[in-house]
Amino acid sequence: MNKPQTTVVLAMTADGKITDRASSPARFGSKADKLHLEKQISFVDAVIFGAGTLRSYGTTLPITNLELLQARQKRSQPPQPIQIVCSASGKINPQLRFFSQPVPRWLLTTATGAKFWQEKTEFEQILISRDDRQTKYSQLIEWTAILSQLKQLGIDKLAILGGGKLVASLLEVDAVDEFYLTICPFIFGGQNAPTPVEGRGWLQQQGRQLELISVKQIDREVFLHYKVKRVRNSEFGVQNYSL
């Protein structure tokens, strides 16, 4: 697939929740985790997040750390990566503080979702994917074409900042290269609290396999870095154990 290098960056509780049952803005990570997130964002040309994430926070995380800003300048990157909002419906409140943050904004949506925004200035660029209501929800965005378009538009590195629905749809088409997961010392529980990967899920044999790149502990948090293994279908899934 001709696409940018893609990295998911998420914090989760020890029971695998990325927020609580009320889908509150996730602010349970430590200062170290926030810096880790900012650092990962500083490496990329663009970040992408689902409309659910934007509705929850109302804002995005801009890079403010001076060293990270200087490093971007040295790499001839603009100060802030492009912020791409993925929304099939396009139903996003234009009053959100996000729209007054000094960051470049793009919208990835369907033809229906684009209608409201097309004559407006909130988004510098609107990418329109197919709008086929017969299509499974998770594939409303035709990722292969869109990711190739992003690459052509100069986005070599893309950070995927959640939430779980967006990550699931990208994993479904094998478009995720790496995961950074921070495990934070909380349990939120709740069957409706989102997890890093939502969607329909896979049976064990089809489960995506990861290669552990690094593990780091800082105070009460654990920082995991995984690479998504590209394996043939016959090699997919968990090992068989006799119980």
Ligand X SMILES: NC(=O)c1ccc[n+]([C@@H]2O[C@H](COP(=O)([O-])OP(=O)(O)OC[C@H]3O[C@@H](n4cnc5c(N)ncnc54)[C@H](OP(=O)(O)O)[C@@H]3O)[C@@H](O)[C@H]2O)c1
Written as six digits, the tokens of 5 are: 């290098």
The Cα 194–Cα 213 span in angstroms is 25
Binding mask 152-191 for ligand X (x = CB under 6 A): ---------xxxxxx--x----------------------
The residue (of 84 and 155) whose beta carbon lies closer to ligand X is 84
Give the nearest residue (CB) to ligand X. 163
- HSE-CB for 89 with a 13 A CA cutoff: 7
Residues 21, 34: Cα–Cα separation, whole Å: 22
- CA distances for 141 relative to 7, 30, 41, angstroms: 18, 33, 23
C-alpha 146/C-alpha 48 separation (Å) is 12
Nearer to ligand X, 20 or 177 (CB): 20
Q: What is the dihedral of CA 24, 30, 31, 34, to 10 degrees?
A: -50
Q: How many residues bind ligand X (CB under 6 A)?
A: 31
Q: Which is nearer to ligand X, 155 or 166 (CB)?
A: 166
Give residues with Cβ within 8 angstroms of 166, minimum separation 6.
48, 49, 50, 53, 86, 160
Closest CB to ligand X among residues 130, 238: 130
Q: In whole angstroms, how close is the CB of 65 to ligand X at the nearest point? A: 18
User: In terms of CB distance, is 184 or 228 closer to ligand X?
Assistant: 184
Binding test (CB under 6 A) with ligand X, winner from 86, 127, 150, 176: 86
- Which residues, numbered 103-132, are part of the site for ligand X (CB under 6 A)? none
Alpha-helix runs per DSSP H in 93-226: 111-114, 143-152, 164-172
Which of 6, 7, 42, 56 forms a contact with ligand X (CB under 6 A)? 56
Provide, rounded to whole angstroms, the least separation between the CB of residue 159 and ligand X: 11
Interacting residue ranges for ligand X, rule: CB under 6 A: 10-12, 18-19, 23, 25-26, 49-53, 56, 86-89, 91, 138, 140-141, 161-166, 169, 194, 198
